Amino acid sequence: MEVDRHFWKREIVWTWTVVGMLVGIVIGRLWQGMCLQPARIRRTLERQGITGPPPSFLRGNAPEMRRITQLYLHLSPTSSSTLSVVVGPSHDWPLGPLLGNGIIRANGPHWALQRKLLSPELYPDKVKGMVGLMMESATTMMETWVERLVESNEEVAEFVVDKELRSFSADFISKACFGSSYSQGKEIFARLEQLQDAIGKPGLIFRLPTLGFLPTKHNKRIRRLQMEIEILILKVINDRQELDEVDAGSKKDLLKGCWKRLVLWQECVHAEILEVSGCDQNCFQDLDTLNKLKTLMMVIQETLRLYTPPIVLAREALENIKLGDLLVPKGTHIWALFRVLHRDPKNWGPDANEFRPERFANGASEACKYPQAYMPFGCGARLCLGHSFAMAELKFILALILSKFSFSLSPAYHHSPVYRMLLSPQHGVKLLMKRF
């Protein structure tokens, strides 16, 4: 019995020693990541004249970042610096359930491999082959709009066009990406939209990452949606594999291989569309024809300048780097605010806040003093892979809509852009549509 007591006593002591060591390692890493490293970065930046609000314990500058985000859309471009330096752990972790380990969040060899696999499927020549699918989805939407106008017995009817266009995009992209399984693809898009809404709340974006495991209502919803999306994606993949085994010759898809001024420019765009198309809407399936719509392209570029979907370009210094005369320490997160970049009067002129598509008459390279500051799809090696895909879709659907309909703002429209992972109209874009 005495031997057993000594044995169990040693086991208990050993167990508590191991537990104490593990707790010490965890605490040490937390202290390093949340206190020592941020303090080192702050000292390096302060020596170079870069200061900011003092961080609070555990939460860092998250409250200040949340305040800036809430005020973001109401700030004057001159009231904020172009670059924001974020000291401490990265705040992209809330995007994990939405983006997974895909190319947007990946780094190093993992990112390089994904880009190598995906980029050939999004080259312009591949996008040309998808225009027929665009026409198929767009025709369905146009027919629905015409029916609604007829049923209303009015010349004009109100449409919430952002909702309609999201539905069009989901339908088209689902067909392009998932082939015959496009209905499953639309279901995935619906879940992704719900997940974006759940994650996109400011209170969740800037919460402590360590609280993500708590069984709160929001955390449960996020985990449930994430699991449902993963199950749907795996089902699509398995179905495609089975289909390919049966029909090796099936066609390829991606899975496999200032508002008032915009309305006033509507007449110019419509005239250009008629001139280029000759009233033949099928010609829009030819990307070369779409590329002739110069005025439409200027409108798109100016809209993307004023209302860029993402609000920040975030980068992390993986090593100590020089940015001009500034030494950026390893671990620093730099946020470039698109609204500041795209509305800076020093770059765009005193009319930087005005909707003037003609500034892009000679292309983005001559639209401003420093064209590198215009980056609606990002820049450099991490330029959005789908930018050609997105631009083709934009030009196609807008050309088709403007060839059939004229529009004006609905009296019920309320201009209130909000940040929900991407810039979105809080109350929808309500337009009065009328057939030509």
Taking only the tens place, the pLDDT of each residue in 316-365 is 888 998 888 889 998 888 888 888 889 999 999 999 988 899 999 999 99
Give the mean pLDDT of 43-69. Answer: 75
Q: Which residues pair with 406 in a beta bridge?
A: 434
Task: Tell me which architecture the domain covering 2-435 has in CATH.
Answer: Orthogonal Bundle (1.10)
DSSP 431: E
Residue 207 pLDDT > 60? no
Q: 360 to each of 2, 223, 269, 287, 345, how far by Cα in Å? A: 89, 44, 14, 20, 16
* Gap between the Cα atoms of 123 and 5, Å rounded: 72
Residues 124 and 287 sit within 8 Å (Cβ to Cβ) = yes
At residue 249, what is the residue type? G
pLDDT above 70: residue 244: no
Residue 210 has pLDDT above 50, yes or no: no
Whether 212 shows a pLDDT value over 70: the answer reads: no
Element (H, E) at 419: strand 417-420
pLDDT value at residue 77: 42
Q: Average pLDDT of the chain?
A: 77
pLDDT at 350: 92
Between 81 and 11, residue with greater pLDDT? 11
Task: Phi first, then psi: give them for residue 195, nearest 5 degrees.
Answer: -65, -40
User: Any idea how long the chain is?
Assistant: 436
Looking at 7-11, 233-237, 351-355, which range is the least confident one?
A: 7-11
Identify residue 18 by its one-letter amino acid code. V
Q: Which residue has the higher pLDDT, 298 or 64?
A: 298
406 pLDDT above the threshold of 80 = yes
Task: Choose the weakest-confidence range: 199-208, 357-366, 407-416.
Answer: 199-208
pLDDT band (50, 70, 90) for residue 180: low
396 within 8 A of 387, measured Cβ to Cβ: no
pLDDT value of position 89: 46
Find the helix or strand (DSSP H, E) in which 27 lies: helix 2-31
d(CA 139, CA 143): 6
Report the pLDDT averaged over residues 290-302: 91
pLDDT of residue 66: 66
C-alpha span between 15 and 28 (Å, rounded)? 20
pLDDT value at position 204?
47
* Residue 88's pLDDT band (cuts 50, 70, 90): very low
Band (pLDDT 50/70/90 cuts) for residue 298 is very high
Evaluate if residue 162 carries a pLDDT over 70: yes
Q: Which residues are annotated as a binding site for heme?
A: 384
Q: Which residues are annotated as a binding site?
A: 384
Query: Tens of pLDDT along 119-153?
Result: 777 777 778 778 888 888 888 888 899 888 888 88
